[in-house]
A and B are shown apart, each in its own frame.
Chain A
Amino acid sequence: MSPDLRWFLWVARAEGVSLLLLFGLAMPLKYGAGIPELVQPIGMAHGALFMVYLIALWHTGRVERWGALRYLLGFVASLLPFGTFIFERRLG
């Protein structure tokens, strides 16, 4: 596995975990328990990781010479819970 791909996978995992924390913890706490305080910080962390993920997707794809479909799958994966983990398996 190339160093670039290894780095991308770590970024993807971080982004995936942040999305799961947002959807699985912060939002249920807000709407289920009336505790909205976690949404903003976790949301911001996810936002930052999402932007870094997109940049990492672009650069890693250029190094690995991915086609347009793989870029698209990578982008869509970042929007779905567990998506980046599934995308990681496809890359592996």
Chain B
Amino acid sequence: MLLHLGLDLLKWIGVLVFVSGLAGSFLLRDPTQQRQAAQWLAAPGLVLVWLGGYGLLTLSGISMMSTWVTGAMLLTLAMLHLALAAVRQPAMRGFYGLFAGLLLLANLLLMIEKPGTVHEQHPTPEAPDEP
């Protein structure tokens, strides 16, 4: 119970940090702050989200090969890539930001609907031999 709570907290802190970093990289006006948001908030936030999420999956017995899990991981990578690209290419910031916003919505949908959930296969204990 405590472990589940701790992992949940880790994941939510990661989500907050990650989304803050994304928002900063697209919305802040100062290029230095944009870069710092993408590199020092979004990137570490992604790692925390993945760690917390993986821990929760393990506790829940859900496979990482589930569609929603794999999809969410790919979407978060794409969002980080867009945040860093927006820092490199300020002229494309609006387009990348809009695209990242759509990916974030798609990610939320995956988290809510959880399509293609696959549960981990656990070996069944062998039945005792008949006398």
Contact = CB atoms under 8 A, between A and B. Distances in A.
Chains A and B are bound partners: yes
A80 interface: no
B85 A44 contact: no
A52 B80 contact: yes
B51 interface: yes
A44 B51 contact: yes
B82 to A, nearest CB: 10
Contacts of B43: 7, 11, 52, 55-56
Given A7-B40, A52-B43, A55-B77, A45 B88 contact: no
Interface centre among B36, B39, B81 (most CB of A within 10 A): B39
A76 B106 CA distance: 33
B105 interface: no
A45 to B, nearest CB: 6
Interface of B: 32, 35-36, 39-40, 43, 46-47, 50-51, 54-55, 58, 77, 80-81, 84-85, 88
